[in-house]
Amino acid sequence: MATLTRIEAEERARLLDVQHYAIDLDVTRGEETFASVTTIRFTARHAGDTFVEVRPTTLHGATLDGRDLDPATLADGRLPLALTAGEHELTVRADMPYSRTGEGMHRFTDPADGLTYLYSMCCMTEGPLVFAAFDQPDLKAVFDVTVTAPEDWTVLGNGVATRVPGEPGRRRCATTPLISTYLMAVVAGPYHSVTTEHAGLPFGIHVRRSLAEHLDKDAEEILDITRRCFDRFHELFDEPYPFDSYDQVFVPEFNPGAMENPGLVTLRDEYIYRSAVTDSQRELRGVVIAHEMAHMWFGDLVTLRWWDDTWLNESFAEYMGYQVLTEATAHRPWTEFCANRKPWGYDADQRPSTHPVAPAPDAVPDTASAWVNFDGISYAKGAAALRQLVTWLGEDTFLAGINEHFARHRFGNATLADFIDSMAHASGRPVPDWADAWLRTSGPDTLTPEVTADDSHWRLRLTHTGGRPHRLRVGAYDADGTPRASHEIELAAEEGTTTHEFPGARPGLLVVNDGDLTYAKVRLDAPSWTAAQASLGALPDALTRTVVWNAARDMVRDGELDPGAYLDAVARHLPDEPATAILESVLAFAHGQIADRYLPPGRRTAALETLSALAHRLLGPDVTDPTRRLIAARVAIGAVTDAGEARSWWEAGTVPGGPALDPELRWQLLHRLAVLGATDGSEIGAEAERDPTAIGEEGAARCRAALPDAEAKRVAWEAMFDPADRLSNYLFRATAEGFWHPEQSGMLAPYVARYFPAATELADRRGHALATVAARFAFPRGFIDENTLRLGEEALRDRAPIPALRRGLDDQLDDLRRALRVRERWS
């Protein structure tokens, strides 16, 4: 498939004005392909040559203004067109392939009941796997979509779908307003639905039938959040919701968290919980609902012109998702944002692959390079930058700028310059200067405090590296964690050291960026870290505690704090930590990074024993909160090193003091038993029969790959990388998650050198989505050594991996270098 370049897109946009797509899909033709007929009406502003994208299994024919085109001219997914000036009509008739990787039209057969489900995923370049298209975001058009499907199936589209009289199984979706090709969407299958009406519009939530009881259990919670967020957006925005319905479909094997198709949001069906979950998991589902609804304005009503402005979609939706959920419900998700999302942004921003929130146009020359920018920078850092912009401008002024932006560009396309102009006009402030500092630069700022004091005042010398302007809060606390004072300060857009003087005695603990208002790495001075070790858990505000935990995390990652000291703080303060998001994020870092990567192998067992002891404290008789007990059970299972102890939990059906093992916990414990060599293929098979679902299928794949057996490893490796095998992304991920374990390093060592050529060949065959999964989950992360680093660097230099894999390997190798530095510093 040819990659669309920015230059090609600009040339085509100058040539074409696209008015209308009529798309006719027939999904009754079998398991491998479906029929697609596309008719496009458009105008050529002058005579010229261009192309339409279509990636069929068979191109049956194409006509331009009634004249047949030669199907043999289709090459690399492009059908060439020679145009005269004026109006044209192009019709393309093709058979299209069903996908097993979540791109184009994904087809999934549920192992629980044998029922089949379809959904489209056209972002960013996959629309031509469904219909013929001038596939770039700034050639918006009106869409009329018709689908022929089995009579008993549900069919959903961007507009309300109705049955065509006299034509069984045929549905016609209502005509859309102007939307981009990557936002066209269709869902079809025997979905279970819960529907209602709100504000005069039909609302629906849908899921495959095997998850019906779980959707029904949570339906009112999901719909209540949806209604509340919908109403809050209408209080904030002058522009009303621009589409005719609002459906949310929880679909299987979905690659992203969700997709903002106008009127038809698709979300991964892991958000329909069949096992116990924590309150922060439910809160995160609410954030995703609000995030995708924000896209109806940020992305769908006003769309980026080219993919260098991904942040215009994602940063805004990320910020509004957290803020609107906070304002519209009882959830308080900014703690989760600080605990989980911002570290994702900070980590991405410190790697060689970092980029500005709004990269320069020449940094995104084509769609292949654009794929890699859907990352922690475009989401978390961009949202944090917007939060700082709101702090600087004030919320009312910020919203005035947003509403002006919508009014200027409704149903059109916009750029960074357009957004800045609207904000500057609404505020009268130098927003271009702010944008240059915040959106056109990369890397996080760092704020390092030094405190001195006399009898009546204390002075803060704050060293600022990075050079962005900041408005932030400095929190002063006594050594026991009692709040003393809060001071707001502003830092100019320059590096250097500033001095700030405040009345009173020196604080025992100083928290820079208290309340997490800005985006910057912060340090704790030595007295503050000493105080935090004693009083961190006593700090009254969850955001304050999160900022301190993040500072300690960054100090570990940068080699400034012994990982063992971080573990000591975990053991001391987490048993009494009430915020679920803090518990989960700190424990994930303690296990996944400190125990598995930063500590040398000889100290790993002791670290796991520390986490195990903490888990059992959280499972004590005084702990009644089910969320804390669930978190503790997960940690206990992940940290257990005694196979006999783990086997006793399996036979008892519970971790002592914990909840009964539901399906999720059973698969987690069986996986740990497999890693420890305390189960076998027959027991895994029996559990798969007990849980004949897609999650069970993935759990069995994960467990089989985890067995410390040479044959099991060979089979798992071939399932992932043999060209004849076509694992779905989800089964590939599950197998990869089971494959690599520090406990099995001797057996796995020969596979390290095999990974790099195998991943490169896989990415070349199966594309960016699976390449991303292979880089993230199949990389030999447990091998913290110079040999792995050398092999990876040679692969990047000599094997020319596609951009998605190159970015993933770049990131993994940078994390490996960091782990090596930490080990060298503290060994």
Structure token digits, residue 635:
């940690």
Query: In angstroms, rounded to a whole number, what is the distance separating the alpha carbons of residues 255 and 103?
Result: 9
DSSP output for 564-601 = HHHHHHHHHHGGG---HHHHHHHHHHIIIIIIIIIS-H
CA distances to 34, 81, 386, 814 from 72, rounded to whole Å, are 21, 13, 50, 46
Query: What is the separation of C-alpha 81 from the centre of its chain, rounded to a whole number of angstroms?
Result: 38
More confident site: 213 or 361? 213
pLDDT the model gives residue 622: 86
Query: In angstroms, rounded to a whole number, what is the distance separating the alpha carbons of residues 154 and 166?
Result: 18
What is the number of alpha carbons within 13 Å of residue 292 lying toward its C-beta?
A: 26
Q: Does the residue 294 lie in any domain? A: no
Please check whether residues 64 and 155 belong to one and the same domain: yes
Domain count, the chain: 4
Q: Does the residue 749 lie in any domain? A: yes
Q: Does the residue 186 lie in any domain? A: yes
Condensed to tens digits (0 to 9), the pLDDT of residues 494-530 reads: 999 999 999 999 999 999 999 999 999 999 999 999 9
pLDDT the model gives residue 759: 97
3-state secondary structure 306-374: CHHHHHHHHHHHHHHHHHHHHHHCCCCCHHHHHHHHHHHHHHHHCCCCCCCCCCCHHHCCEHHHHHCCC
Q: Does the residue 605 lie in any domain? A: no
Q: What is the CATH number of the domain that holds 357?
A: 1.10.390.10
pLDDT the model gives residue 724: 83
% of the chain with per-residue pLDDT over 90:
97
* pLDDT confidence tier of residue 222, bands split at 50, 70 and 90: very high
Please check whether residues 129 and 189 belong to one and the same domain: yes
- Among 422, 438, 454, give the residue marking a domain's end: 438
Structure token digits, residue 72:
């043999």
pLDDT higher than threshold 90 for residue 372: no
Q: Does the residue 454 lie in any domain? A: yes
Secondary structure (3-state) at 33: strand
Which amino acid, one-letter code, is at 647?
Answer: R
Going edge to edge, which strands form the sheet with 509-512? 483-491, 470-477, 509-512
Structure token digits, residue 461:
């010398």
Q: What is the CATH number of the domain that holds 215?
A: 2.60.40.1730
Please check whether residues 377 and 429 belong to one and the same domain: yes
Condensed to tens digits (0 to 9), the pLDDT of residues 748-782 reads: 999 999 999 999 999 999 999 999 999 999 999 99
Query: In angstroms, rounded to a whole number, what is the distance separating the alpha carbons of residues 737 and 763?
Result: 18
Please check whether residues 388 and 469 belong to one and the same domain: no
Residue 5's φ and ψ, nearest 5 degrees, are -95, 160
Mean pLDDT of 400-417: 97
Please check whether residues 155 and 180 belong to one and the same domain: yes
Mean pLDDT of 269-286: 97
Please check whether residues 182 and 330 belong to one and the same domain: no
CA distances to 330, 374, 500 from 420, rounded to whole Å, are 33, 22, 32
Please check whether residues 265 and 402 belong to one and the same domain: no
Q: Is the dihedral of CA 226, 229, 232, 237 positive or negative?
A: negative
- Cβ distance 187 to 264 under 8 Å? yes
DSSP output for 674-737 = HHTT---HHHHHHHHHHS-SHHHHHHHHHHHHHSS-HHHHHHHHHHHH-TT----HHHHHHHHH
pLDDT the model gives residue 361: 85
Question: CB within 8 A of 491, min separation 6: which ones?
Answer: 447, 462, 464, 469, 470, 471, 472, 498
Q: Does the residue 173 lie in any domain? A: yes
Q: Does the residue 638 lie in any domain? A: no
Mean pLDDT of 471-488: 96
Supply the DSSP symbol for 241. P
pLDDT the model gives residue 687: 98
* pLDDT confidence tier of residue 803, bands split at 50, 70 and 90: very high
pLDDT the model gives residue 559: 96
Residue 732's φ and ψ, nearest 5 degrees, are -60, -45
Mean pLDDT of 304-333: 96
pLDDT the model gives residue 725: 78
Helix, strand, coil share (%) of the chain residues, nearest 5: 50, 20, 30
* pLDDT confidence tier of residue 185, bands split at 50, 70 and 90: very high
Tell whether pTM > 0.95. yes
Structure token digits, residue 466:
């990075």
- Among 539, 574, 609, give the residue marking a domain's end: 539
Please check whether residues 144 and 261 belong to one and the same domain: yes
Secondary structure (3-state) at 643: helix
pLDDT the model gives residue 541: 97
Please check whether residues 415 and 491 belong to one and the same domain: no
Alpha-helical runs (H) found in 410-495: 416-427, 431-438
CA distances to 183, 255, 270, 273, 289 from 285, rounded to whole Å, are 22, 16, 10, 10, 6
Please check whether residues 131 and 195 belong to one and the same domain: yes
Structure token digits, residue 436:
């240059």
- Among 389, 417, 438, give the residue marking a domain's end: 438
Mean pLDDT of 312-338: 97
Residue 155 parent element (H or E): strand 154-157
Mean pLDDT of 188-213: 98
Condensed to tens digits (0 to 9), the pLDDT of residues 636-678 reads: 999 999 999 999 999 999 999 999 999 999 999 999 999 999 9
Query: In angstroms, rounded to a whole number, what is the distance separating the alpha carbons of residues 186 and 116?
Result: 15
Please check whether residues 390 and 321 belong to one and the same domain: yes
- Cβ distance 380 to 344 under 8 Å? yes
Query: In angstroms, rounded to a whole number, what is the distance separating the alpha carbons of residues 312 and 405?
Result: 11
* pLDDT confidence tier of residue 723, bands split at 50, 70 and 90: confident
What 618-622 contacts at long range (C-beta under 8 Å, 24+ apart), as own/partner pairs, is 618/574, 618/575, 619/655, 619/656, 619/657, 619/658, 620/657, 621/657
Mean pLDDT of 25-43: 97
Mean confidence (pLDDT) of the chain: 96
pLDDT higher than threshold 90 for residue 455: no
pLDDT the model gives residue 184: 98
pLDDT higher than threshold 80 for residue 1: no
Q: Does the residue 784 lie in any domain? A: yes
For residue 385, give its domain range.
304-438
**Residue 3 region, left (φ>0) first, then alpha (ψ -120 to 50), else beta?**
beta
Q: What is the CATH number of the domain that holds 468?
A: 2.60.40
* pLDDT confidence tier of residue 824, bands split at 50, 70 and 90: very high
Going edge to edge, which strands form the sheet with 520-522? 496-503, 457-465, 445-453, 520-522
Question: Catalytic residue numbers?
Answer: 292
Please check whether residues 134 and 77 belong to one and the same domain: yes
